[in-house]
Structure formats: structure tokens, C-alpha cells
Structure 1
Amino acid sequence: MHLDKIRPGQVVLSTAGRDCGNFYIIYRVINDRYVEVVDGQHRRIENPKKKNVRHLKFLNYRFPDEGKLSNPEIRKFLKSFAEKGEELDG
């Protein structure tokens, strides 16, 4: 995956590991292979999870305001996103 396609604030779905099936928001791009993700609950901004980009499905959704990432806002956004049952083929 190229760095120009990976952006902080992008919604991703974990496709491997114990967290398979969980939605996250990219918090930081480490390099071409790894990113840090947060969900605002189990993986908070203070302790993001390092994930291999090969283990993520990148969705065409972004957190509305990357500059104001906060754990409560992330939780609220991902909860509403999952409840809507948005199409994941994006």
C-alpha cells in the first residue's frame, strides 16, 4: 500500500488478529507498512495499536475533523458508523 493512499482519520476494518472485524480510525502513519489505529475505547489515543496495513481493509470514510480527535468523539463516530451497517465494499 502506498503512503499517498493512507491518511490519518481514515476508517479501517481489521481483517486479521484478535481484533478481526473491529472498526478503527487511523491515528498515525508510521511508514509504508505500519499505521497506528484507535477506536476510542479499547485502543485510546494515549495507547494506539500498531497494525500492519496488510491486515486492514481501507474504507472510503473519514473521521469528520482529524484535528479534533478525542476518545469520546471517536467512540461516537465508530458506533454510529457500525450501527448504520454501511456498505463495506467501498
Structure 2
Amino acid sequence: MTEANTPKLGQIVKIRKGRESGKYAVIIGIEDGRFVAIADGDKRKFDQPKKKNLLHLELQDWISSEVVDSLRESDRVTNGKLRFAVAKFIEQMDSNA
């Protein structure tokens, strides 16, 4: 895998396959080379993340520092922070468009 394709904690992803396709979420765990755990803080809470194959996700060039800091400090992140990270990313995308 190249550096650009490597998932990182706190990275925003766009879901390409499955029931939630087209939605955005945050990587909150990296299982192995193929799978990550994602949550959006809304439908998919931190306590019940979705395990997704990286082939079904589109990695975005945006990492939420709030989520990364929280995961480093306490191995947890609030659902509010996840919702905030996704909303901030979407807002930034809209302002750039």
C-alpha cells in the first residue's frame, strides 16, 4: 500500500458500498491491512463501530485532530466529536466547491 492509501486514525472516509453508501464516517480503529472500524457518531456510534473493507471506502485527505487527540489520550472519543468532525469536513467541502 502506498502512503496515500494507508488509513490513519481520525481520517474521514466516504462509504462507497453497502447500506450507508454516500455517507461520511471517521476511522476509529485499524484492524489490519484490509479492514478498519468506522463510526459517524450518529447512526453508527463509537461503542458499536462498523468493520469495513478498505476497498469499500474512499479515503479523504482530511484527518480530525480532535478525534486523534481524544483516541490517544483515553482510547475513546465522544459521539459528539465524531459528528462534529464529519460536519466540519462536509462544511469545508461545501465552501471549497
Q: TM-score, normalised by structure 1?
A: 0.84
Letter aligned with residue 28 of structure 2: Y
Question: CA shift at 1:52, angstroms?
Answer: 0.5
Match status 1:71 vs 2:79: yes
Q: TM-score, normalised by structure 2?
A: 0.79
Q: How does 1:70-89 map to 2 (within 5 A)?
A: 70-86=78-94
Structure-2 separation of matches of 1:23 and 1:75: 10
Match status 1:7 vs 2:15: no
| 1:21-50 residue CA offsets vs partner (Å, 9 max, x unmatched) | 010110100011110001011111100001
Letter aligned with residue 32 of structure 2: N
The aligned residue for residue 73 of structure 2 is none
Q: How does 1:1-90 map to 2 (within 5 A)?
A: 1=1, 5-65=6-66, 66-68=68-70, 69-86=77-94
* SS of equivalent to 2:87: helix
Letter aligned with residue 52 of structure 1: N
| Number of equivalent positions | 87
Higher helix share: 2
Unpaired runs of 5+ residues, structure 1, are: none
Unpaired runs of 5+ residues, structure 2, are: 71-76
Distance 1:36 1:27, change over 3 A: same
For the aligned residues, what is the CA RMSD? Answer: 2.0
* SS of equivalent to 2:8: coil
Question: CA shift at 1:67, angstroms?
Answer: 2.7
Letter aligned with residue 43 of structure 2: H
